[in-house]
Amino acid sequence: MFDKATQRLVRRIDPDGELIAVSRLNDSEKLKPLAVVMKCPTKLPWQKMKYRPTVFTLNDLLLGEPIQPVLEKTDLVNYEEKHKGNTTGSLEAGGGAFSVSAQGSGASTFSSSLGALCKENVNLQQLIMDSRERKVDLQHPLLKQNLGKPKSKQLFTLVMERIFTTSNQKINYNSKEEGSCNTILKSLKFDTAQMSFKQSGSLQFDTDISMEIPSHTILAYSVKELNIKNDSHFDIIMALEADGFESDFIQHSFYVENEVDGLLTTPEIQEGSSLSILKRALVGVRNYLCVLAQLSHESCSSLLLKFQQILLDRELLSTLESKLDDLVYGDAPCLFQTTCSHASDQFIDTFWDLLQPETTSENRLSTDSPNNGASMKLSEQSQPVLTAVNILMNAAMGLTDDGLHLLQGFCASEVLNELNDLVNLLTDDSQPVLFTSLPAPLQNEDMLRRVEQLFSSSNVVLKIEAGKLWTETTCNSGHLPYILCTIIHGLAYLSENLE
């Protein structure tokens, strides 16, 4: 709820600027003026930049007297938002002696009353003057931890601007879901016996959550990059463009053997392009995803079921995606510290269990719990599977909300394989394809309409004319076509041995 409120706020007041939404309420107390925040460059083409607040400030790293930043405060805006959504649906099917009908509806309301917000800035010119000729302690644990990792691409940044509440405020979420189902098996005769069956059922879920946000809670912030030199001097970088350390330091950084950073690239997609432009890029991503087909029948089946649940819960999806990034790339100073609900923690634990390689216990992910956060150790055998699932999870995060909802309806294994066959046809150089060459289930008018909607959610237009089918991307399609094809391939590998 807190993450949703801050993301909405940033989209409203600074959609193309430098503000970063605070994703965790617990991070608020860390985001002091000149707090050190780790900037983690993206590993996949469609990922957004990640920022991880630390418990340290610039003064914790400095040698000598602390710097007292000059702060400038201004009133920003009085912010309130209310969002309502309603969905309904029904289904009737049957024939002969059997019929079934189902209907459902749902409604949700999300409101955030954040009240009067204040903006606080660090006076940059004064900070540059005060930090001139100052040095940092290269033996500080935070610096040593980063410098000791071969090829680490984490960068140091400082909090320069903060948006915060000025009084206690509330975030409210309410949802109601209900549905019913009726099944009728009409009278049948078997020799001298006669049988009939009728069953009905209904369900209803109500959720009502209220969260009170205290005064001076940080909702968003912006940063400037810190360039630390070999001689311990540092600069505040005006534009985020440097590597954060000089080349002598970069050559000692952290590297994961099977890191996909830079290997998964996508060509620029112009308006009107066909999906065949992605053919070469998708060969690369399939090389990582194909390991999913080697999991057991039970693991694949369970993972597909879990993905169906994850796709409809973006907050849970975000948590899993973040934790997989931590595990695969080792970016976070403290892995797996979470503020999830107990139910979410249980779901995540179950999800991890499904990702264990089916080898000896020594090859499984090991968990040490000296604190409240578990530290997961990545074994050589588990890494390929976790890397593949990480790509899949990141792809799901990159889809639109409509895309996630539509994709969830295709998670039945037999449909996924047919959808994957279609993607292979459409990304082949020989577009357009004959309608009669499509997988038989996709020649159904209703199914093809669902596929058309799914592609449309990722800015791809599916066109049929004169018995031929081809695709064209719309303007501003970005990475969405690549993301959609990637997640379809990944889910299809999971369903490969379920037929």
**How do residues 73-83 score in pLDDT, each as one tens digit?**
999 888 887 76
Across 40-54, 55-69, 232-246, 384-398, the highest mean pLDDT is recorded for 55-69
Tell me which of 424 and 267 has the higher pLDDT. 424
Tell me which of 355 and 223 has the higher pLDDT. 223
User: By CB neighbour count within 10 A (0-12 exposed, 13-18 middle, 19+ buried), where does 488 fall?
Assistant: buried
The pLDDT of residue 467 is 84
The pLDDT of residue 364 is 42
Please give the full DSSP string across 16-47, using - where no structure is assigned: TSS-EE---GGGGGG--TTEEEEEE--SSTTP
Single-letter code of the amino acid located at 187: S
In this prediction, residues 409-425 reach a mean pLDDT of 85
Strand-pairing partners, residue 75, are 118
Alpha-carbon gap, residue 76 to 326, rounded angstroms: 35
In this prediction, residues 235-248 reach a mean pLDDT of 56
Contacts 24+ apart (CB under 8 A), 26-30: 26/339, 27/53, 27/218, 28/164, 28/217, 28/218, 30/54, 30/55
Alpha-carbon gap, residue 73 to 122, rounded angstroms: 9
**What confidence tier does 37 reach under pLDDT thresholds 50, 70, 90?**
very high
**How do residues 149-170 score in pLDDT, each as one tens digit?**
554 567 899 999 999 999 998 8
pLDDT above 80 for 249: no
> In sequence order, which ranges of 134-174 are alpha helices (DSSP H)?
141-147
pLDDT above 80 for 243: no
pLDDT above 90 for 188: no
Alpha-carbon gap, residue 125 to 69, rounded angstroms: 10
**What confidence tier does 372 reach under pLDDT thresholds 50, 70, 90?**
very low
**What confidence tier does 221 reach under pLDDT thresholds 50, 70, 90?**
very high
Single-letter code of the amino acid located at 216: H
Q: Please tell me whether residue 275 adopts helix, strand or coil conformation.
A: helix
Share of the chain above pLDDT 70, in %: 69
pLDDT above 50 for 240: no
The pLDDT of residue 35 is 95
Across 15-19, 383-387, 418-422, 494-498, the highest mean pLDDT is recorded for 418-422
**What confidence tier does 34 reach under pLDDT thresholds 50, 70, 90?**
very high
The pLDDT of residue 359 is 40
Q: Please tell me whether residue 310 adopts helix, strand or coil conformation.
A: helix
Alpha-carbon gap, residue 482 to 452, rounded angstroms: 16
The pLDDT of residue 121 is 95
From residue 54, alpha-carbon distances to 35, 57, 77, 332 in Å are 7, 8, 28, 10
The pLDDT of residue 347 is 64
Question: Beta-carbon neighbour count of residue 188 at 10 Å?
Answer: 13
**What confidence tier does 173 reach under pLDDT thresholds 50, 70, 90?**
confident
The pLDDT of residue 124 is 93
Tell me which of 433 and 363 has the higher pLDDT. 433
Tell me which of 50 and 216 has the higher pLDDT. 216
Tell me which of 310 and 492 has the higher pLDDT. 492
Alpha-carbon gap, residue 72 to 124, rounded angstroms: 10
DSSP state of 390: H
The pLDDT of residue 246 is 40
From residue 222, alpha-carbon distances to 8, 134, 240, 276, 372 in Å are 16, 23, 11, 39, 29
DSSP state of 136: B
Mean pLDDT of the chain: 76
In this prediction, residues 371-387 reach a mean pLDDT of 58
Contact indicator for 408, 312 with CB cutoff of 8 Å: yes
The tokens describing 363, both together, are 């090859």
Q: Please tell me whether residue 375 adopts helix, strand or coil conformation.
A: strand
Contact indicator for 237, 156 with CB cutoff of 8 Å: no
The pLDDT of residue 253 is 29
pLDDT above 80 for 10: yes
From residue 172, alpha-carbon distances to 28, 295, 382, 407 in Å are 19, 41, 40, 28
Domain map of the chain by residue range?
2-81+110-169+213-250, 275-498
User: By CB neighbour count within 10 A (0-12 exposed, 13-18 middle, 19+ buried), where does 361 fall?
Assistant: exposed
pLDDT above 80 for 250: no
pLDDT above 80 for 175: no
pLDDT above 90 for 36: yes
The pLDDT of residue 211 is 83
In this prediction, residues 41-60 reach a mean pLDDT of 83
pLDDT above 90 for 109: no
pLDDT above 90 for 281: no
